[in-house]
Chains A and B, each alone.
Chain A
Amino acid sequence: MIDFINVSKVYKSTGTHALNNFSVRIDKGEFVFVLGPSGAGKSTFIKLLLREEKPSSGEIYVNGQNLVKMRRRKVPYYRRTLGVVFQDFRLIPTMNVYDNVAFALRVTNVASREIRDRVPYILGLVGLSGKAKSLPEQLSGGEQQRVALARALVNNPPLIIADEPTGNIDPELSFEIVDLLTEINKCGTTIVMVTHAHQLVNEFDHRVISIDEGTVVSDDANGRFFIE
């Protein structure tokens, strides 16, 4: 599903070596936590996955596609096969919950009929059927993140990338979010969740990849995270 082969990334403007000879392989259907202190290269890992950046060297394959050689005009179509969730939710404040979720379909040329079928179903899945008409500001942080998750899911992507999805919400609600992701994972969707919430990682039996200074320092199926 995801294959990073000897990937290095140097930001020319600052000279930062964000990733050094980074190799990782994630299979279809896995749930993976990616852990590391700030500056470890987590954000770069996400950016490379989303094809926001290209690596300085090395190969990246996602879903069988070579991200390094991918043409610019193909990138939008590649991103349609991903669901992305961010720490800051990134909801559009002027749109209600329904429209925020439908937005992902409207801007990718999906038929209205399908939107009308799909959006309520997904909102039900994340437990927000009753809040379809609410604006993001009227929701709690946990609810907003569930809207963002619904938006990521609505395209039915085989891979979900979550960048610190619990960073801005209470611990008990964080648990709920990861629980939800785990449920989604059980249906076969691959999940990559970047986090620094160590507590949370220990609550679940998922693979944990720890990175520091741009390389993998430990990779543990059924992982536990111990504070060093």
Chain B
Amino acid sequence: MRGSSFGYLIKEGARSLYANRLMSFASIGTLVACMLLIGASMLFSMNVNEIVGYVEQINEMVAYVEDGVDEAGLEEIEASLELIDNIDMSRSIYVDKETALQEQKELLGDNASLLEGLEGDENPLPNSFRLKLRDLSQTASTEMQVDAIEGIESVRAPSEVAEILTSIRHAVSAGGMFIVALLIAVSLVIIANTIKVTVFNRRKEISIMKYVGATDTFIRLPFFVEGFLLGLISAMVAFGLLWVGYDSLLRLVAQNPSAWIQQASQSLLPFQEMALRLFIWFAAGGIGVGVFGSMFFVNKYLKV
């Protein structure tokens, strides 16, 4: 394409953005709102995933071994545990009763003397396996499998936590998908409307273009450029707003005096870590919606 034509196309696309600034503003506004919601739900679900992952990391199932199981019995139990897929044996550990007592003493700190005299045969604590699970949502069935192993006295599992976490995860991704789909549909309609107005405003120009022999593709290109610019500008605005919003939210969370939230905020993702990915998503989505919306309706309204 020649310079004169290329310049014309870019100029026309930008000019019609300005000429229809009210509609452009409406489209950009809607797209930005959509992207903000999409971005917020993406950030939210990424963070929920991060937190769930963190909780999964520290979560463990404890299987207590019956008193009187000897060395050979322990090995048999370990072999049976190896057979359960959901248990990550490489991260799981065996804790004998002496170590368990030692840990209790450490927990008590200055009051450790309370436990004195419980060493050796007097130790009331059982031997145990601390098991790490691969998939928290399978907690209940894994618990039953472990409980069925001979020589296991009882199992303590954080099944409630697991359930809550997995249902949060599912709800977040399902709800997110629904909102995103709805918003994309809305943006398409709005963009298409903007382009429709542009086509209407420029119908005279378009008819002249046809008479002087501009190709169909050439006539469509300014609308393509307009859709592209609408998408790109929206992506940049939404990205900027989300960045500012997320950062100030993080700061707010970090300042919260509650220790629990303080700790949780440690595992929140900093914006920069997701920025590039998010921007690529925004730009691709915005430009895609803009271009698709404009092309679809230009073809529909322009009998070129």
The chain A residues found within 8 Å of chain B, CB to CB, are: 50, 73, 76-82, 84, 90, 92, 103-112, 115, 151, 155
Contacts and interface: CB of A to CB of B under 8 A. Distances in A.
Interface in B185-225: 204-205, 207-216, 218-219
Contact of A107 (B3, B8, B204, B207): B8
A78 B207 contact: no
B213 A115 contact: no
Given A76-B213, A76-B216, A80-B213, A92 B208 contact: yes
B5 to A, nearest CB: 5
Contacts of A151: 212
B1 interface: yes
B258 interface: no
Nearest to B218: A107
B111 interface: no
Interface of B: 1-5, 7-8, 204-205, 207-216, 218-219
Contact of B213 (A73, A77, A111): A77
Nearest to A106: B8
A90 B208 contact: yes
Nearest to B11: A106
Nearest to A100: B208
Contact of B4 (A50, A78, A106): A106
Contacts of B205: 92
Contact of A76 (B8, B204, B214): B214
A58 to B, nearest CB: 23
Contacts of B207: 90
B4 A84 contact: no
Contacts of B216: 73, 76
A80 B5 contact: no
Given A106-B4, A106-B8, A112-B3, A76 B208 contact: no
A112 B207 CA distance: 23
Nearest to B209: A107
B212 A50 contact: no
29 contacts: A50-B211, A73-B215, A76-B210, A76-B214, A76-B215, A80-B212, A82-B213, A84-B211, A84-B212, A90-B211, A92-B205, A103-B208, A103-B212, A105-B4, A106-B4, A106-B8, A107-B8, A107-B209, A107-B212, A107-B213, A107-B214, A108-B212, A108-B214, A109-B218, A111-B3, A111-B4, A112-B3, A115-B4, A155-B213
Contacts of A115: 4
A103 B7 CA distance: 12
Contacts of A109: 1-2, 4-5, 218
A78 B213 contact: yes
Contacts of A111: 2-4
A144 to B, nearest CB: 14
Contacts of A104: 212
Contacts of B215: 73, 76
Given A76-B215, A108-B214, 8 more contacts: A76-B213, A80-B212, A82-B213, A90-B211, A92-B204, A107-B5, A109-B2, A115-B4
B80 to A, nearest CB: 73
A105 B213 CA distance: 9
A76 to B, nearest CB: 5
Contacts of B213: 76-82, 107-108, 155
B170 to A, nearest CB: 51
A50 B8 CA distance: 25
B188 to A, nearest CB: 28
